[in-house]
Amino acid sequence: MARPILMPQVGQDLTEGKVTAIFVKQGDPVKKGDIVAEVESEKAVFEVEAFETGTILEIRYKVGDTAIVLEPLMMVGEEGEVLETAPAEKPAPATFSGEDAQTIVQAAKAPAAEPVAESQPANVTSFPAEAAREAETAFLKTGTTGGSSPLARRLAAAAGVDIATVKGTGPRGAVVKRDVEAFSRSGQSSGSQVLAFSGKTATGAAGSFIKTLQSGTGDPVLLIHGFGGELSAWRPFLAHLGIANPILAIDLPGHGAASATSASDFDALVASVRASLAAEKLDRVHLVGHSLGAAVATAIAGGGDLDIRSLTLIAPAGLGPKINGDYVAGFLGSSTEGALKVWLDQLVHDPAAMPGVLVRATLSGRDGTAMAANQGKLAAGVFSGNTQLFSVREALARFAGPARVIVGTEDRIVPPDQTVPASVALHRLPQVGHLPQLEAAALVGRLVAQTVRSAG
């Protein structure tokens, strides 16, 4: 199966880089560790390493092109393997259609209209991971290699822009997000007004570590990453959401742009996110959280003082006492790529799904920063060995809005067999680990979008 070599992210705010050299051509054999390209950011030139052994099947950029971080620079697979090419103007295929209603927990006004009660495990929704991965593969083949990217088309529609009139600067001349945003800023659009958040970070509104990933209309969606992640990890997932809302993301204390800050326990962690929401005047928002970030989202939603429009929890922590403490310790203690990869592979059911570039990006983010120390401080305040020192079960039960929980049945970090309140829709994804948004991104994106839309 073909695998991508991704454009790496070597800085917290780096979103793109210029391709300055390509050292391979289509059909060339490569082995893990080979340098295949060179990319230049505003501050440095760095090498792109192959994390897969195989044959170069496709090169998606040429020298001088601007590459988007965490998108494929080239594809590697078996010798003789052929990549199918889908029509560029068609959006990435959905994993499930409306006719598959019997496999989806439907909702009249909220996704919990047909709740998964703790005493009714048979009603838990289950999806084949292979179908989701097929959609993922198709997106990697078509996402930004044609006339326009799916995200660009959605932004153009929201802004009332005829995408055919926008000049593309992406790979092979494709219209990408920045082209639509530049076109809209030029005043040439004539449709609906787009609500454009400022994208403030710690250098913007005081106390805020929130950044805008997508402008749009309607109530904003805030993405909250888990322990050891950062807001940039959500970027590849955006294309699978299919919603026109503004999409924001936040760095938790000790992570990403907030690496110099710290939180000593779960309450402090929640307070820091609340401070960012207050700084950005966000009191009406959809929350989507992963793992520890899902627990934070739940605590905020259950507080009752903010207008949380919907709540989507992906592999959530805080619903039971157990956590894989060995993983936490191993992740924090790894100082080499080889050691760190061993632990990061535990996040996924299939280690091949873990992009090698994320290993390097995680280590580089620690260099010269207080990140590792502050993450260790946080871990000591929220985990003790294999025990979580907090619970958000009562907060989840208090939340009256649309709520959905998505877990992988092969999760090795947080037990996947935890129950949820009867008012919450629950989806168990077979052959998926602790990162459903990576391993089954198309399906998870669809479920998140359904939750957001159900709020009205």
Q: Would you place residue 148 in the very low, low, confident or very high pLDDT band (cuts 50, 70, 90)?
A: low
Q: Would you place residue 84 in the very low, low, confident or very high pLDDT band (cuts 50, 70, 90)?
A: low
CA dihedral sign of residues 397, 437, 451, 276: positive
Which tens digits make up the pLDDT trace of 5-23?
888 765 555 667 889 889 9
- Give the strand pairing for 16-22 and 125-126: unpaired
Residues 209 and 74 in one domain: no
Q: Is the pLDDT of residue 117 over 50?
A: no
Domains in the chain, number = 2
Q: Is the pLDDT of residue 440 over 90?
A: yes
Single-letter amino acid, residue 342: V
Residues 69 and 123 in one domain: no
Residues 65 and 212 in one domain: no
Q: Is position 326 within any domain?
A: yes
Residue 377: domain span: 101-135+195-454
Which tens digits make up the pLDDT trace of 442-451?
999 999 999 9
Residues 211 and 71 in one domain: no
Window from 346-360, 383-397, 433-447 with minimum mean pLDDT: 346-360
Residues 1 and 118 in one domain: no
Q: What is the pLDDT of residue 155?
A: 63
Q: Would you place residue 100 in the very low, low, confident or very high pLDDT band (cuts 50, 70, 90)?
A: very low
Residues 11 and 115 in one domain: no
Which of 91-100, 146-155, 169-178, 250-259 is the most confident on average? 250-259
Residues 59 and 199 in one domain: no
Give the whole-angstrom CA distance, residue 41 versus residue 9: 10
* CATH value at residue 28: 2.40.50.100
- Rounded to an integer, the average pLDDT of 325-339 is 94
First-residue to last-residue Cα distance in the chain: 40
Q: Is the pLDDT of residue 126 over 80?
A: no
Query: Which residues are registered as beta bridge partners of 285?
Result: 308
User: How many other C-beta atoms are found inside a 10 Å radius of the C-beta of residue 70?
Assistant: 21
Single-letter amino acid, residue 406: I
Give the whole-angstrom CA distance, residue 150 versus residue 177: 9
Residues 277 and 323 in one domain: yes
Number of H helices, E strands in the chain: 13, 18
pTM across the whole model? 0.64
Residues 402 and 264 in one domain: yes
Give the whole-angstrom CA distance, residue 241 versus residue 120: 29
Which tens digits make up the pLDDT trace of 20-49?
889 999 999 998 878 888 888 765 667 788
Give the whole-angstrom CA distance, residue 365 versus residue 361: 6
Q: Is position 169 within any domain?
A: no
Residues 107 and 74 in one domain: no
Q: What is the pLDDT of residue 203?
A: 30
Q: Is position 22 within any domain?
A: yes
Q: What is the pLDDT of residue 177?
A: 66
* CATH value at residue 314: 3.40.50.1820
Residues 335 and 440 in one domain: yes
125 neighbors 153 (Cβ within 8 angstroms): no
Residue 172, phi-psi category: left (phi > 0), alpha (psi -120 to 50), beta (remainder): left
- Which residues contact residue 301 at a Cβ distance below 8 angstroms, ignoring those fewer than 6 apart? 287, 308, 311, 395, 396, 399, 401, 403
